[in-house]
Structure 1
Amino acid sequence: MFPVTTFKGQKVAVFGLARTGIAAALALKAGGAQVLAWDDGEAGRAAAIAQGLIPIDLSTTDFADIAALVMSPGVPIYGPKQHWTVTKANEAKVPVIGDVELFARELNAIPESHRPMVVAITGTNGKSTTTALIAHILSSNGKDVRMGGNIGTGVLALDPPRPEAIYVLELSSYQLDLVESLRAKAAVHLNLTPDHLERHGTMERYAAAKRRIFNNQVATDWAIVGVDDDWGMALCTRMNAGAQRIVVPISACQALGKGVCALGSMLWDNLDGRSQMVVDLAHAHALPGSHNAQNAAAAYAAARALGLSAQAITKALISFPGLEHRLQEIGQIGPIRFYNDSKATNADAAAQALAAFPKLRWIVGGQAKLGGIDSLAPLFDHVTKAYLIGEASETFAKTLEGHIEFEQCGTIDVATARAYADAQQTMSEEVIVLSPACASFDQFPDFEARGRHFAACVKGLINPDDGLSAQALPAAETA
């Protein structure tokens, strides 16, 4: 954690006292601000007290002398569900910002010659893998890398700035909605497909939030844009017309006259007008599938933006160990391999897992997103059998009826055991994948907990006598 000094001597309201909110409150307090922190939930307030903060009820606070309202990114700031604190702030003309904006203001206060660089990554799918991959490439080449944002560590809990540091930040649309002054040396927009529309209302508003990642870039900064969807192609065209930055298209399925692309497993660099094959991604075992080819293209371009050579980048690409919960191989029993893709919380993310294997046994379900899994129909022939879990079981059963053999299992414990039992019967190579295409909140607090539980189930199958079988886990894990 490092102090936020740009609000020294001023009153700042902080709402939402989970991980990022508490970090923001502590950073502001350390920087000399008077912090008024609040959460509607008793658990959040208790967590703040445990960190030495004194909650102040913002519903009875006069916002007239508040310098800013720092919101948790998960709280709605517009639309019919706009939070009451935002309404109060708007009425008092108080700016509503987030922890990433506090971070940006601290960096902007540093003289440019000593300011750390920022690489920022967004997109509907693939941003966590791309963020981790960029951080791995940079750190493998001796750079002082701090990775955080929407992945792992909140930005204000990262190590303090120093001139040679590089911050590699995954940014969600929720976080970008609360950012005004962040400048990224390399900003990556991977893709855009329908998601979080319950928050943004329309695709246009969702797209506008994502575009904010390019705000404040200058002519020497790189805008790296995935062009394999219509939204990305339109964005790339729009920014090329503006000529305000270096625009680099990336693709996982088409040759590009300029940019970085993957054709099959081959990654091609055409940044200077001369096309060169730089690496065979088949050697990057932690990056299977075409979706990871796009991630690799984006990471390669971002590393080039920071001055790394093609050789240095591709060597690190091959050594990347993979990202936890994202098509992560977690075990093997004989010819049967298990993959944890718990981070696939929507159909588009799950499509990447289904496309990565010619045949798989699919554990799917949870709290369904808008549209369910209807869009995955073209990939149903990759599925040997589906094992349905969670709230979505009945709905998904209707979608799969007549297309895929399926079994309603209810929980991950049962689904894992049934998939393994079925796979054993074939006496051949099999792949079992948890790729839920759903949120986790019906049975787990987050996708990480869901992935860890699946891993524990697999470990129980691998080592049935070590006391870690799925059946031995506490009931609270699946409550």
Structure 2
Amino acid sequence: MTPVTTYEGRRVALFGLGGSGLATALALRAGGAEVAACDDNPASMERAQAQGIATVDLREADWSDFAALVLSPGVPLTHPEPHWTVGLARAAGVAVIGDVELFCRERAKSAPGAPFVAITGTNGKSTTTALIAHLLREAGHDVQMGGNIGTAILSLEPPMAGRVHVIELSSFQIDLTPSLAPSVGILLNITPDHLDRHGTMEQYAAIKERLVAGADLAVVGTDDGPSRLIAERREGPTVRVHVAGPTEALTPVDGLVAQEGVIREGDAVVADLTGIGSLRGAHNWQNAAVAAAAVRTLGVTGEALQAALRSFPGLPHRMEEVARRGRVLFVNDSKATNADSTEKALTAFRDIHWILGGKAKEGGIYPLVPLFSRVAHAYLIGAASDAFAATLEGAVPYTRCETLDVATRAAAEGAAASAAPEPVVLLSPACASYDQFRSFEERGDRFRELVRELVPTLP
């Protein structure tokens, strides 16, 4: 835990008692603050009370007594309209902040030079965060990893000299962190997302920009328009990262270029991702190039960097290689809940035996039509089967399987009969899971179980 001492002896309102909210309340209490916590869910209030956190109805509270309102990042700050606590705080002149802001203030107070690597972007945040943490650990660093990737930032050990915090940040978290100033700030990419919470694409991009604007060193992916403009506006030290097409002529650039799995700085090879299954595809080449730029500032270079990249296991449910039987590779990409995510997987493989379906998102799989030539056969599951069959008709042979167990067996048999050098059974549903599973994690876990049962029985 990181005790929050910057509010010692003061009263702090807190709304949202989920995982990060409860961790924040405990950290504030440990640092000597008086916490007045609230949640719309009575069960969450009861869990907090059981851990000794004082709960109140903030509608009835005296807001003139509060030094700050700490808001859970899942609670609306501006759109579609501010949460009622935000209105009360602003009327009383009380600052509205989040748990990452508390961490930043604690770091500034107790260990301002402690390394702090912050990662954001529309896509690839979790993989890049995990990869950076892995590279640093392999090099012997004391690493604390958390934030949006899973562990609440205040549940981590406190900042100190020689300890590196590697933190994934969503736009919601950045919006609640006015003093964000990491030693390395990473912006991977920006595409439309969460506009219901930020209002416009311009506002969404402006929030993302704040992460790199205050960083000592910024690392920016420049393959989309908004990110490229942010890199151009940046005045401080900046490493630009570009993923080049396979036939693109390389010209000297200020930063790193990844092409066909090789990361270069000018004419020098920084790292070679060839044969690293956990870092397949152009999107992962960007993730790895950005990670390399970050860890080089902490002394991880050369053979040490290359060896650590090769030992990266990847993340569950994100193009996770779960098994291999002869030439057949089984890949769990259950995290791909929309067409944009599935595009990354289809681009990374050929001769794909594609398991897809579930609760469809707007647009379905129509954006993936240009990649259908990579698909040998599609196996449809769930509620989206009719709509997806209509898109596949005449372009990709398909089988209606209804359930994941039927689809996995059919895809495994189809792949085993293929003459291709490396047929791939790919679960990349391009759909939410909620028609048949409680989460994409449950769906991916079930696929992994099915594959492990099937593999010994395949020819």
> What is the TM-score of this pair, normalised by structure 2?
0.91
Q: Which residue of 2 aligns with 1:327?
A: 319
Q: Which residue of 1 aligns with 2:91?
A: 91
- Cα distance in structure 1, aligned partners of 2:384 and 2:59: 37
How do 1:158-237 and structure 2 match up within 5 A? 158-217=156-215, 221-237=216-232
How do 1:319-358 and structure 2 match up within 5 A? 319-358=311-350
- Cα distance in structure 2, aligned partners of 1:176 and 1:89: 19
- Cα distance in structure 1, aligned partners of 2:318 and 2:310: 17
- Cα distance in structure 1, aligned partners of 2:363 and 2:437: 21
TM-superposed deviation, 1:9: 1.8
| Higher alpha-carbon deviation: 389-398 or 189-198 | 389-398
How do 1:143-158 and structure 2 match up within 5 A? 143-158=141-156
- Cα distance in structure 2, aligned partners of 1:277 and 1:347: 33
Aligned residues: 451
2:426 corresponds to 1:430 = no
Q: Which residue of 2 aligns with 1:473?
A: none
- Cα distance in structure 2, aligned partners of 1:299 and 1:139: 13
Q: Quick one: which amino acid aligns to residue 56 of structure 1?
A: V
| Higher alpha-carbon deviation: 292-301 or 423-432 | 423-432
2:437 corresponds to 1:458 = no
- Cα distance in structure 1, aligned partners of 2:20 and 2:158: 16
2:271 corresponds to 1:268 = no
Gaps of 5+ in 1: 465-479
Q: Which residue of 2 aligns with 1:38?
A: 38
- Cα distance in structure 2, aligned partners of 1:307 and 1:164: 13
Question: In 2, are the aligned partners of 1:125 and 1:348 still within 8 Å (CA)?
Answer: no
Q: Quick one: which amino acid aligns to residue 70 of structure 1?
A: V
How do 1:307-322 and structure 2 match up within 5 A? 307-322=299-314
Any idea what SS the aligned residue of 2:286 has?
A: helix
Any idea what SS the aligned residue of 1:286 has?
A: helix
- Cα distance in structure 1, aligned partners of 2:237 and 2:126: 23
- Cα distance in structure 1, aligned partners of 2:189 and 2:104: 24
Gaps of 5+ in 2: none
CA separation of 1:277 and 1:4: change in aligned 2, threshold 3 A: same
Q: Quick one: which amino acid aligns to residue 286 of structure 2?
A: Q
- Cα distance in structure 2, aligned partners of 1:50 and 1:420: 49
Question: In 2, are the aligned partners of 1:193 and 1:348 still within 8 Å (CA)?
Answer: no
Q: Which residue of 1 aligns with 2:126?
A: 128
- Cα distance in structure 2, aligned partners of 1:463 and 1:43: 45
TM-superposed deviation, 1:355: 0.4
| Higher alpha-carbon deviation: 296-305 or 423-432 | 423-432
TM-superposed deviation, 1:172: 1.2
- Cα distance in structure 1, aligned partners of 2:94 and 2:149: 29
Q: Which residue of 1 aligns with 2:255?
A: 259
Q: Quick one: which amino acid aligns to residue 65 of structure 1?
A: D
Question: In 2, are the aligned partners of 1:5 and 1:28 still within 8 Å (CA)?
Answer: yes
TM-superposed deviation, 1:387: 2.9
Question: In 1, are the aligned partners of 2:277 and 2:321 still within 8 Å (CA)?
Answer: no
CA separation of 1:397 and 1:13: change in aligned 2, threshold 3 A: farther
2:379 corresponds to 1:379 = no
Question: In 1, are the aligned partners of 2:350 and 2:424 still within 8 Å (CA)?
Answer: no
Query: What is the percentage of aligned positions where both structures have the same residue?
Result: 51
> What is the TM-score of this pair, normalised by structure 1?
0.87
CA separation of 1:88 and 1:346: change in aligned 2, threshold 3 A: farther
